[in-house]
Structure 1
Amino acid sequence: MGPELGARMFDYTVIGPAGAEDRRGGADGLRSAAEATGGDGFVWVEFDDPEPRVLAAALEALGFDRLGLAPQHASHRRPKVEIVEGAVMVLVKTVWYIEDTRQVETGDLTFFTDGRSLVTVRRGVVDPVPAVRRRIGAEPEFRAEGVPGVAHALFEAIVEQYDGAVEDLTDDVSDLERAVFSGQRVDRNQEIYFLIRETLEFQNAVRPLVPFAHVLKEQRDAPEALRHRGFGEVAGRLLRVDAAIETCMSLLTTVLTAHQGQIGTWQNEDTKKISSWAAIAIAPTIIAGIYGMNFDKMPELHWAIGYPLALAMMAVVCLLLYRGFKRNGWL
């Protein structure tokens, strides 16, 4: 480790049966604290959108630098799980739903652990860490669960956000479906496409975690640092959220197809109406055009009833055409 790396200072917490102690120190002190916990506690380093060099120094001090991680400056990092020699890195997307604008916003929470130390890195609005830290200070039973208990609590808080977001999303999809089939002639293609895009963003945040959820649910192949009795229930909820998102996506796709069919029907109806009125309008135009040719040899030009007869003939032709189109459903 270079002198620059070793000189960096970190805020961290040493958690044991007696309680939690906040400390600040360099990489050597952080490593020593993690080694000194033995099997009775662990060290927790918490970061909020840190500088990449600071995070790298902490990970190297605790031996987590061998785990893969997308660059911290990347704006669209996908959920991922890495397990190397008992050390685990889990990147979980956090989700919150803005009902007013029907937008899905995402952040992420990454945690690294080997059972004796824990590093969490958070980005975005959702922050499950403070509530978990309060539990550490107030609940000795929770502290006794160690890293698996903290990892479970963090994961559970994130999945609770998923539950709330997918309920709001489902309500908006149902509202949009009712609006599409309400009988109003309103083009809602843009609304549907927008909601499909937001649903896809939500699905991209959850779907990559499905295989990991099965591992957590069965607990047979789960790493030691993530063996906790509550993971089975949380994993089941995650799978139900994924199924609900898939249902929303399927419904939106169906609604989009049906709505495009509606628009095609509306356009066909409009074409029929335009064609019908054009046909009705052209009949008197033809008659008037003939009488406007100024021929001398047209006997009806000298009839007393010639003008009213021409008007009556126009009206009768228009009426017959109108009744015919109306009977055929074009008007």
Structure 2
Amino acid sequence: MPIADTAVWAAGARVAGDVPFDLVLETAAERDGFAWVDMVDPTEAELRQVADELDLHHLLVEDVVARGQRPKLEGYGATEYCVVHRVEPEGGIEGLALTPRAVLYALLDDAADAHERLAMDVHAQIEGVEDVFFAEEHPPTVDIYRTMRRVLALQRAADPMSDVVARVASRTPEGELELHRHLRDVDDHARRTATRLSGDRDLLASMLQLATARVAERQNDEMRAMTEQQIVQNDQTKKVTSWAAILFAPTLIAGIYGMNFTHMPELHWLLGYPFAVVLMLAFAGVLHRVFKRKHWL
């Protein structure tokens, strides 16, 4: 069974010696303390074995087995089930009596501090992305998207923390004033982190929209340039086609009369040459006028 540690705490200190798991609750009751059971990556069967020993509600066990739960605090009779993410234990419990609820406060405090540090790291990363965004021609869309995913993942862990702390405070006896003060401090950290992450998410969303707009604008400019180039090419093609047609008529007439067949009356006609020239000019003039009216020239 992957139990990393079992311990009994009483009178503000850990009871010396290792306490077997099957005796941890009995020992805690005898010492008027509380038990600590630390499990690392347990299987479903192992979790259910521990749940049977601790008499845990089956819905609680299902939540633990499913994993990926949002931070929350739920009550199952005399049992309270709390989920927090990214807990990085660093500090201790100062100025508080060592009770299960004080331990829960310490876990929440460490989680809130970890969220705040991660939020500050993400904010610094966003500032770097923002500098690149306005300094370079091509916006770092991939970096923006990846940073937004990191913000959203952190939000899923940090946003519910304030509600969790509020529920813990509501279940804490009013006489434990110092613990209430500490919980309010955790709540302040959680709210500050949630506000920072919300602002960062909105900033990234705006940057992503602006990046999309810049890409679309650049594509429109490229399409406009291509269209203008096609228009110029079409105009040039029309001009070449028009002049080719205009020159084709005189060439055709000259080619016909240039064959010099014997039986061609116009070859021996006194006005044959002027007639051919006038005919060439007439055809060319008519075609030029037609193409001019069609705006091909």
The alignment partner of 2:195 has SS state of helix
- Kindly indicate whether residue 147 of structure 2 is the aligned counterpart of residue 153 of structure 1: no
Greater percentage in strand:
1
The one-letter code of the counterpart of 1:253 is A
Paired position in structure 1 for 2:200:
248
In structure 1, distance between residues paired with 2:107 and 2:158: 15
Once the two structures are superposed, residues 40-79 of structure 1 have per-residue CA deviations (whole angstroms, 9 ceiling, x without a partner) of x322111112233333333443444467244444353222
1:17 to 8, 11, 26: 11
SS at match of 1:45: strand
CA drift at 1:11: 4.7
Aligned match of 2:35 in 36, 43, 61?
A: 43
Count of aligned pairs between the two proteins: 247
More helix by share: 2
When residues 86 and 235 of structure 1 are mapped into structure 2, their CA distance, relative to the original with a 3 A threshold, is farther
Q: Which runs of 5+ in 2 are unaligned?
A: 252-276, 278-297
Distance 2:36 2:6 in 1: 6
- Aligned residue for 2:242? 290
TM-score w.r.t. structure 1 length? 0.63
CA deviation profile, 1:66-95 (whole Å, cap 9, x unmatched):
67244444353222211234431101111x
2:81 aligned with 1:89: yes
1:18 is displaced (CA, Å) by 6.9
Identity of aligned residues (%): 19
* Preserved contact between residue 203 and residue 242 of structure 1 (Cα < 8 Å): yes
The answer (yes or no) to whether the contact 1:10–1:26 under 8 Å persists in 2 is: no
Q: Distance in 2 between matches of 1:211 and 1:168?
A: 24
> By how many angstroms is 1:208 displaced?
2.7
| Offset at residue 224 of structure 1 (A) | 4.8
Scaled by the length of structure 2, the TM-score of the pair is: 0.70
Q: In 1, Cα distance between the equivalents of 2:11 and 2:210?
A: 61
Q: Distance in 2 between matches of 1:161 and 1:90?
A: 17
Match of residue 308 from structure 1: none
Aligned positions of 1:1-331 closer than 5 A: 11-17=5-11, 19-20=13-14, 21-27=16-22, 29-38=23-32, 41-65=33-57, 68-74=60-66, 76-94=68-86, 127-128=88-89, 131=90, 144-182=97-135, 184-186=137-139, 188-216=140-168, 219=169, 221-224=170-173, 228=179, 229-293=181-245, 294-297=247-250
Any unmatched runs of 5+ in structure 1? 1-6, 95-125, 300-331
Residues 11, 25 of structure 1: 8 Å contact kept = no
Q: Contact conserved, 1:213 with 1:239, CA < 8 A, in 2? A: no
The CA RMSD measured in Å over matched residues stands at: 3.3
Q: Distance in 2 between matches of 1:55 and 1:23?
A: 21
Separation (CA, whole Å) in 1 of partners of 2:84 and 2:74: 12
